[in-house]
Structure 1
Amino acid sequence: MSSKPSRLVRLAIAAAVAVSGTVVSLSAAPVSHAVGVSSTDGQISRAEVLARAQSWVDEGVWYSQQVYYTDSNGTYRTDCSGFVSMAWHLGVSRTTWTLPGVSTPISLDSLQPGDALNRLNPYTGEYDAHVVVFAGWTDSAHTSASVYEEARPGTQARRIAYSRSYLTSQNFKAFRYNRIIDSGTPQGSQDPGSLPTGTLVKAPNNPTVKLVISGSGLAVSGSDVAPDGYDLGKVVVVDEAKFNLLPTALPVGTVVHDAAGGSSRYVVVGDAALPISGAEWSADGYNTRPDMGVPTSWLQGAVRNSLPVGTVVHDQADNSPSRYVVIGDAALPISGADWSADGYNTRPDMGVPGGWLQGAVKKSLPSGTVLHDQADNDPSRYVVVEGAALPIAGAEWVPDGYSVRPDMGVPSTWLRSVVQASPADGTVVRGEAGRDDKVYVVLGGSALAVSDADKAAYAERPRLGVPENWLRGAAQRPLKNGTVVRDVSGGPSVYVMAGGMAVPLTAADYSGLGYDKRPLNTVPGTWLTAAAAKPAPADGTLLLSPDNTTVWLVTNGGSKKALTQADFGPGKYSFNDVVIVPTTLTANLPFTTS
């Protein structure tokens, strides 16, 4: 009997995942060739890595970023990084971002079977695109590599050859798992991982000194030795292979401080060190944990690091039941409805200092970040531009270059809120594809064209790429009635928008009509000149002037029609849509009764 589910069953499960967004676990009967001598997160031979990779090819495991597959190898997510995590026998399904944390960069020509190739994204400078297991060169000249991979949705685990030119053009970088060995039985004497915390160690042929803490090895730089008080005369020489395999990350929740001194304390989560405030030291229970002195240079790097994308966190003090997911440096709120539906309940839930969390919650995702609904209830993709999520049309996905950016799953409720938002007022935008050099400035959800004569006024602002479909719609959208504007280049004139027309306000109008209480927005001068030259507001605009209480409806191409109280109410006109304008405007509009 086959140990793998039938193709029909796998397709049905994949369809269920696409609809529900929940994490599904598949199970298969153990396969004998995947069994090895390694333990989770332990040393593993190159032969065993390849055997584990081949087992998923034999079992026909389908790609998914939500599905977890269980067989004799363990339980792992069935995307590219989950596949490498399975092959290396890691304790969790790491991401392309976090796999470098358990591996060491090497050159392409140093690759050996069982190593990995991780693609460095040129747009983000992060390893956030794709990763594969290297199986070997297909020729002595190293012009073609055989790799194992979980490639993309709709495909199964496979072994395939890629040319060296393709790997280099796509920015793939070579990595070696820190605990991989060339044979099943490592040779050596003292294991540095078994030495007491605080021991300094080095390998016979490696000048690097490391500080052992809880089985991990933190590099000690030359600048650390004197300030941190390290006695190099007490360095223990250990087995070279085991030295190179020491984990570089401390266990989650470890409390650390700079060995050189100072009162600051930090808690380790992933590869990051998060600051603990004085108020949190006791309230959050950090004072009950061992407090480890670490090398200054290592701590400085850890403080700069971000938590892995997708990490679920909560306030360590548990003053709030709220949960958040980390994307970049921002923490996005997870609603109660999203907790299970989006699969966040299946991830480790990390307690973090409340002060750090409050700061992360206030941060925004960087412009250019590509998003989708974590639950996959909405197949759409969006790009973040100054606080708003703008829809990406299918036709824009590849030509605009969005397909090569990391695609971040975010909580459904949070996504809906930013989809309804507009980029911040004053944001300068252009079409992402760059087919023309037209530039626009955003105001109230509208995109106002910036002429060549006006570009100097916006020269200091970054020009952000946006999807062309969204830009076309925003360029056609008139400014909201009641918006107060003036020329970005200066000048005393002030205007109020009414039905696409920029209505001039005298100084008396500006204060007398209450517009001095509203934001005064700058707009491109050429655009403003055209808006002020319009003969009348657009039909359908409701106007009120201070000379009387009559509300006028602009109709018939610039005429005015008086409305009565009976014209307002549910299903009729709303007083909220009325624009107060100077009497000179309403007086100059011809009267009509039709």
Structure 2
Amino acid sequence: MRSAARKKSALATAATAATALLALAAPLLASTPASAASLATWDKVAQCEASGNWQIINPTGQYFGGLQISMSTWRAYGGTQYADRADHATKQQQILIGEKILAGQGQGAWPNCGPKYNLGADHANPYPDAPTYPAPSSLANGTLVKSPNGPDVRVMIAGAGVPVAGSDVAPDKYDLGKVVVIDPNAFNGLPSAPPAGTVVHDQAGGANRYVIIDGAALPISASDWTEDGYNLRADYGLPTAWLQAAAQRTVSTGRVVMDQTGNDPSRYVVVNGAALHISGAEWTANGYNQQALMGVPTDWLASAATRQVPNGSIVQEVSGADSTVYVMAGGVAVPLTNVDFIGFGYDKRPLLGTPGQWLASAAAKAAPANGTMVKSLNDPTVWEIVNGKKRGMAGSEFGAGKRSFDDVVGVGSAFIAKFPTA
């Protein structure tokens, strides 16, 4: 879209741009644009602009799709309700946004191709039977939405579309008679979790409050509610089933966190649900200071900081200065040989970076926690560690309602040999 619209956009002041965006809000929902063109005319413009290729990108990387619409114009006229940029949208969606541009700027928006095909003089609706949909961003929090192509319902919360289960409808008092139908691509593109830092509660009721971090719902204690300032944030009701599942999730591995109060200067990185302390030297040396820092509830952080990285997690120093790979077993970081790393299938698991000082401390621990089960690669015996000693386990100890072989951690034979037999 090699247009006057681009020049106008480059020269416009911030105030003018803001006014223009506000003025666009009403036309976005209009069923018939003030100016329009037939499908045949739009095809001619696309042939002129992009050789009829609706998924093309201009060699400059600035203009997209069959109508060569810039990113700023695509956003300003509501194109992101369909796709992030024009060439990712369908032909119909690009034309519908083209109609809005034509209504707002006239055929001069395509100075080389618009006048050539009398784009502004056509006045025909290219899709007379096409439904028009509201943009999700225009809908209030708590609005129920669905796609015209399926029965699934979501509720709009802070820009996300949180899934509503059938079991949620009655207890959460959702009125399915007020569901708003939105564009299917916009519906499918909605994030399913509210943004990090959103405070939520069960829509069905109850006093519990949570904060969403990476799709996980972290409980906010009664003392944290005011001390951490969560009581000053908007509090949204979420579908019961989704919230219950989110409360079982863990914060993403690699997420850097701190106490929400700001009173504790310590910083932590989350690894498989455990919060590992980051030393002052490692904060900058390992690049943690370059990552987004998220405040989390004080009590949740205190609990996460005492958790062990789960058994079987494969870890390595995040800086890469130490190439040794370890497996976690009862809080101990056990070094692995290449044979054990491959033999136990650990090469198929994600390798998790951890702060060096934390890893050195975990590797120096004398023995795994009581009850940890380990075995070496070439020995069928499963050993349970109890008070720094090892006990050979019988096969009868495993099975339904008993211990599980899935909880046994594969380690090197040298590690097992360090412990006397109980």
Is structure 2 residue 206 aligned with structure 1 residue 373?
no
**RMSD after superposition:** 3.3
Aligned to 1:405: 233
Range with bigger deviation, 401-410 or 362-371: 362-371
CA offsets 1:14-58 (integer angstroms, 9 cap, x no match)? xxxxxxxxxxxxxxxxxxxxxxxxxxxxxxxxxxxxxxxxxxxxx
Letter in 1 for 2:373: L
1:472, CA displacement in angstroms? 1.0
Letter in 1 for 2:304: A
1:547, CA displacement in angstroms? 3.0
Q: Percent identity?
A: 39
Is structure 2 residue 325 aligned with structure 1 residue 494?
yes
1:344, CA displacement in angstroms? 1.9
Structure 1: how far apart are the matches of 2:402 and 2:261? Answer: 43
Structure 2: how far apart are the matches of 1:417 and 1:296? Answer: 48
Letter in 2 for 1:310: G
Q: Which structure would you say has the larger RCO, counting Cα contacts within 8 Å and 6 or more residues apart?
A: 2
Secondary structure of 1:554's partner? strand
Secondary structure of 1:464's partner? strand
Structure 2: how far apart are the matches of 1:517 and 1:412? Answer: 35
Structure-1-length-normalised TM-score: 0.51
1:260, CA displacement in angstroms? 9.6
Is structure 2 residue 378 aligned with structure 1 residue 550?
no
Aligned to 2:143: 311
In the alignment of these two chains, the number of paired residues is: 331
Is structure 2 residue 307 aligned with structure 1 residue 477?
yes
Q: Structure 1's 548 and 313: CA in aligned 2 closer, same or farther, altered over 3 A? A: same
Aligned to 2:218: 390
Letter in 1 for 2:165: S
Residues 428, 462 of structure 1: 8 Å contact kept: yes
1:340, CA displacement in angstroms? 2.9
Secondary structure of 1:342's partner? coil
1:346, CA displacement in angstroms? 6.2
Is structure 2 residue 159 aligned with structure 1 residue 350?
no
- Specify which structure has the higher proportion of strand: 1
1:343, CA displacement in angstroms? 2.1
Letter in 1 for 2:142: G
Residues 442, 448 of structure 1: 8 Å contact kept: yes
Is structure 2 residue 166 aligned with structure 1 residue 336?
yes
Question: Which of 534, 542, 553 is matched with 2:365 structurally?
Answer: 534
Structure-2-length-normalised TM-score: 0.71
1:538, CA displacement in angstroms? 1.1
Q: Structure 1's 256 and 420: CA in aligned 2 closer, same or farther, altered over 3 A? A: farther
Residues 479, 497 of structure 1: 8 Å contact kept: yes
Letter in 2 for 1:368: G
Question: Which of 561, 564, 579 is matched with 2:394 structurally?
Answer: 564
Unmatched 5+ stretches in structure 1: 1-221, 225-246, 265-270
Structure 2: how far apart are the matches of 1:258 and 1:545? Answer: 75
Is structure 2 residue 81 aligned with structure 1 residue 274?
yes
Structure 2: how far apart are the matches of 1:273 and 1:483? Answer: 40
Secondary structure of 2:139's partner? coil
Residues 329, 363 of structure 1: 8 Å contact kept: no
Letter in 1 for 2:30: T
Residues 327, 334 of structure 2: 8 Å contact kept: yes
Q: Structure 1's 355 and 580: CA in aligned 2 closer, same or farther, altered over 3 A? A: same
1:106-505 correspondence runs (5 A): 250=26, 254-255=30-31, 274-275=81-82, 278=90, 294-295=103-104, 305-315=137-147, 318-345=148-175, 348-360=178-190, 362=191, 364-376=193-205, 378-456=206-284, 457=286, 458-490=288-320, 491-505=322-336
CA offsets 1:130-170 (integer angstroms, 9 cap, x no match)? xxxxxxxxxxxxxxxxxxxxxxxxxxxxxxxxxxxxxxxxx
Residues 487, 524 of structure 1: 8 Å contact kept: yes
Q: Structure 1's 429 and 347: CA in aligned 2 closer, same or farther, altered over 3 A? A: farther
Structure 2: how far apart are the matches of 1:473 and 1:417? Answer: 20
- Specify which structure has the higher proportion of helix: 2
Is structure 2 residue 353 aligned with structure 1 residue 577?
no
Structure 2: how far apart are the matches of 1:460 and 1:273? Answer: 29
Letter in 1 for 2:104: P
Residues 314, 351 of structure 1: 8 Å contact kept: yes
CA offsets 1:404-461 (integer angstroms, 9 cap, x no match)? 1110111111111111101111000111011110111111111111111211111111
Residues 390, 470 of structure 1: 8 Å contact kept: yes
Which entry has the higher C-alpha Rg, 1 or 2? 1
